[in-house]
Structure 1
Amino acid sequence: MKKYLLGLAVLLMGTAVMTSCSDDNDGPETYLQEYSTGAYVVNSGNMGTKIESSLTAIDYASSTATQNVFKAANGRSLGDTANDGIVYGNKIYLAVDQSNTIEVIDKKTKRSIKQIKTTDLLGNAEGVEPRHIIADGGKVYFTTYGGYVAAVDTTSFALQKKWKVGSYPEGLVIAHGNIYVANSNYAAGGGNISCINLSNDNVETKNIEGVNNPTSIYYASNVLYVLDNPVYGPAPDYAATGENALRAVSFAEGKSQKVADGNYAVCVTPGTTTRTPQLVRSYFFVLNAPYGGTPSVSVLAAGSTQPQALTLSEMPVSPCGIFADPLNGHIFVLSYKMGDKGTPDYNGNGYVVEYDRAGQKQHEYETGVGSCAMFFDSAYKTAYAE
């Protein structure tokens, strides 16, 4: 099954933290301002041709990409079919599907702090194939193809809780004390959504009208969204039915509404970029890249049903994912390179193109084999009040 990627769920567009606010201070008022420093690309490799996973690090200051940073720091492979990653605090967490591991590494040195074997943590059946990972409140949460969501403490790395959800869960998002989970059912049809109530651990799994193979899930402007993909039939032809679409979901009513065409999406929630908070509407960048068709990108304001076309100054040759830096708003589109036969090269390094918010190309970086996910890093600097 083609593994559709998720983009990150709800993202914050910036932070400003006060550090000096004294009326007696004659000097300029200062505060700590968060700024973007770089990005990471998760490369799944190609298990069929025995190409291992890797991690690419992009440094904004030098506009360079460094390949295989995990292996260089640790002297060993990241594993097979890495699928997702996040920065949380001073650590990076990577979900490595076929190796059944969550790799915890130091953000600065890239040295491994802990390798969590998910089948040891949850059980051989429950912990198989960790898929997607998020973090909140001193815990990381991840899905497994064993049908579970697990919560792990970020200090002790001990299992805090686990919840049984639907079949083959993929993306997950936290909203208002709940975790919503997209259960794909491995693209066989009948996929649904689970809601975990974190206050009482109750899990409700519900079929949603119009949703058949949800892979990514988002919460923006008080609306739940899923990225729904086609359903595939049995061998040998694996005939596809359905469409790639971003859908707004009413979990309570069990209904959904299509709001945009696309098989990849990222949600961006602008926030505080100065000392004065401004409420800004969340929005999506949606990439529609049908196999053999012409790719396109649209922008959709959360709560709207009218996507607007976004013209990129240069579209990658074989796009396979869209992401956005939550602080500077830059757009990143992952892509395969084309092989000698004019088809995507699934065994060679890919690349990612960086655009500004208007879709103008800024940089192009080489990535590893099977690039499938991105996440972003930041730091703080002293800034002066206006």
Structure 2
Amino acid sequence: MKARSFFFGALCMLMMGATFTACSDDDDDNRKNDEGSQVELPNQRVYILNEGSYQQNNAGITFYNPTLSSPIIEDIFFKQNNAKLGDTGQDMIEYNDFIYVAMYGSSYVTKLNEACVEQARYNFTSEQGQPRYLTAENGKLYVTLSSGHVARLDAHTLAFEKMVAVGKNPEQLLEEDGKLYVVNSGFGKDNRLSIIDLKTFDQAEQVEIFQNPEKILEANDKIFIQGYGGDYPNYTYPVVIYDRATRTYQEIGKGTHMAEYNDVVYVIYSETDWTTGTSTHTLYSYNARTGQKNNHPFLQMPEELKNRTLYMLSINPDNGEFYIGSSDFTTNGDIYRFNADGTLKEKFASGGVSPRKAVFID
């Protein structure tokens, strides 16, 4: 009897041990890369990059908890690093559990952990140019530069490796099937899409598209490009699908902002009367799987937002929630958070001037 009791007791202990081990493994899976953090942060995080005002050294990153269980932290970069982020925050991405930020005015790229503690920094020379936009692939960070080049950095150390000439004033870029696709605005004068083979990274092919392109994204293996369509003031704001096989493109509408979620591209076309500072917005979506355009607005905008200047459209890749940033270019902006069905969930202060980009950590 005692032997039987011992057997069942040992079995129970083994089962409890397995349970504790599983819980411990779960904790390890959810543990964030927070070394050096001055504050305790939840697992779910949204970071808002506030561009700031040019040459005012007032760019910053705001922390927001989407579960609403902890307060917003304005300028968390300063809190964590005891230093200002710098001048003109241009782009921010997440890659391999780290955050990368391109600072256009301050001419550097920084690598942060998931708590916004700085890990490394690369300062570009005046000959290399100022950083614009970022993408990462296979341990490399690619940066468009105002000098007309794309730079390749080691994503771990931020050591500079090489740069390739593309077009004038390259803007956004993306990787697709081992190639980089880079749009060149040329300050309104360029009309080329540059294509770089990442295996060689030595020369860019050039394909003529429309004038003054700015943004590029991928949905269902299709490439979407948005831009101005001309130099100032002759803007037409085309949004096109680029066909990689034929190297041609087809316009699907007008747009000033676009973002992708679950192979659907969401577009906002904003027209602003700069004499009054008021805007009107047209919203539509395009399903990249079916090729169908839906002209029904995907957001139920509150009245106060309908006439404000929109500066940011970001979508949470985990749940499809929309984050819309507004700006008057001088005072702190606001963020409007919408559910995936387009209903307004919350409005909160962005914590800085001109909110430009959101990165989601889960």
Partner secondary structure for residue 46 of structure 1: coil
Shift in alpha-carbon separation, 1:116–1:51, aligned structure 2, 3 A: closer
User: For 1:350 and 1:260, how far apart are their aligned partners in 2?
Assistant: 28
Shift in alpha-carbon separation, 1:230–1:65, aligned structure 2, 3 A: farther
Match of 1:61 in 2: 67
Deviation of residue 251 (structure 1)?
4.3
Match of 1:47 in 2: 54
Q: 1:349 aligns with which of 332, 336, 351?
A: 332
Deviation of residue 264 (structure 1)?
0.5
User: For 1:204 and 1:320, how far apart are their aligned partners in 2?
Assistant: 31
8 Å CA contact retained: 2:121, 2:158: no
8 Å CA contact retained: 1:267, 1:284: yes
Match of 1:86 in 2: 93
Partner secondary structure for residue 291 of structure 1: strand
Amino acid at match of 1:84: D
Match of 1:180 in 2: 181
Q: Does 1:262 align with 2:246?
A: no
Q: 1:112 aligns with which of 109, 113, 118?
A: 118
Q: Does 1:102 align with 2:88?
A: no
Deviation of residue 84 (structure 1)?
0.6
User: For 1:362 and 1:113, how far apart are their aligned partners in 2?
Assistant: 34
Partner secondary structure for residue 310 of structure 1: coil
8 Å CA contact retained: 2:311, 2:354: no
State the identity as a percent.
21
Deviation of residue 36 (structure 1)?
8.1
Render the CA deviation track for 1:332-351: whole Å, top value 9, x for unaligned: 11112xxxxxxxx3210001
Render the CA deviation track for 1:14-38: whole Å, top value 9, x for unaligned: xxxxxxxxxxx99xx9997999822
Larger gyration radius, structure 1 or structure 2: 2
Deviation of residue 159 (structure 1)?
2.2
Match of 2:318 in 1: 327
Superposition RMSD on alpha carbons, in Å?
A: 2.5
Q: Relative CO higher for 1 or 2, CA cutoff 8 Å, sep ≥ 6?
A: 1
Shift in alpha-carbon separation, 1:115–1:199, aligned structure 2, 3 A: closer
8 Å CA contact retained: 2:120, 2:157: no
Match of 2:348 in 1: 365
Match of 2:143 in 1: 142
Shift in alpha-carbon separation, 1:54–1:242, aligned structure 2, 3 A: same
Partner secondary structure for residue 79 of structure 2: helix
Render the CA deviation track for 1:173-215: whole Å, top value 9, x for unaligned: 010010100111112x332111111123253342434x11111
8 Å CA contact retained: 2:122, 2:159: no
Q: How does 1:10-49 map to 2 (within 5 A)?
A: 37-47=44-54
User: For 2:150 and 2:316, how far apart are their aligned partners in 1?
Assistant: 26
Q: Does 1:294 align with 2:280?
A: yes
Q: Which has the higher helix share?
A: 2
Amino acid at match of 1:287: I
Q: Does 1:312 align with 2:299?
A: yes
Deviation of residue 363 (structure 1)?
1.4
Deviation of residue 51 (structure 1)?
5.2
User: For 1:172 and 1:46, how far apart are their aligned partners in 2?
Assistant: 24
Deviation of residue 252 (structure 1)?
4.8
Runs of 5+ consecutive residues of structure 2 not aligned to the other structure: 1-17, 31-41, 274-278
Match of 1:206 in 2: 206
TM-score, normalised via structure 2 length:
0.81
User: For 2:57 and 2:339, how far apart are their aligned partners in 1?
Assistant: 32
TM-score, normalised via structure 1 length:
0.76
8 Å CA contact retained: 1:37, 1:61: yes
